[in-house]
Amino acid sequence: MADFTIKKELSGQGGRFVIYKDGDVAELTFTRRAPDLISADHTGVPDAFRGTGAGKALVEALIADAKANTYRIMPLCSFVDAQRRRHPEWADLFVV
């Protein structure tokens, strides 16, 4: 598994967690629904990142951010929802 630098970029009512590598971009996009709620909308991981753990690293960045900033997550993205089901210790962070 690679060691990634993940950035949080904000734009209007949403944003994304993003990894840049050699011109490719992996991202997890989100929308702020309320002061204490965001929806995880989409995770996009190009072929250049396949098998590196980039998608999971993006979800872990989202989880860390939710804990640090006390918000909950609505997992609209199927990948985020699958990770949620694999990690019952994250249950208190999700609205399903």
CA–CA distance, 91 with 84 (Å, rounded to integer):
7
Q: pTM for the complete prediction?
A: 0.94
Structure tokens at 86: 């694999």
CA–CA distance, 34 with 51 (Å, rounded to integer):
34
Coil/strand/helix, residue 12:
coil
**Level-2 CATH architecture, domain 7-93:** 3-Layer(aba) Sandwich (3.40)
Coil/strand/helix, residue 22:
coil
pLDDT tens for the chain, 96 residues long, are: 467 899 999 999 999 999 998 899 999 999 999 999 999 999 999 999 989 999 999 999 999 999 999 999 999 999 999 999 999 999 999 998
DSSP β-bridge partners for residue 10: 15
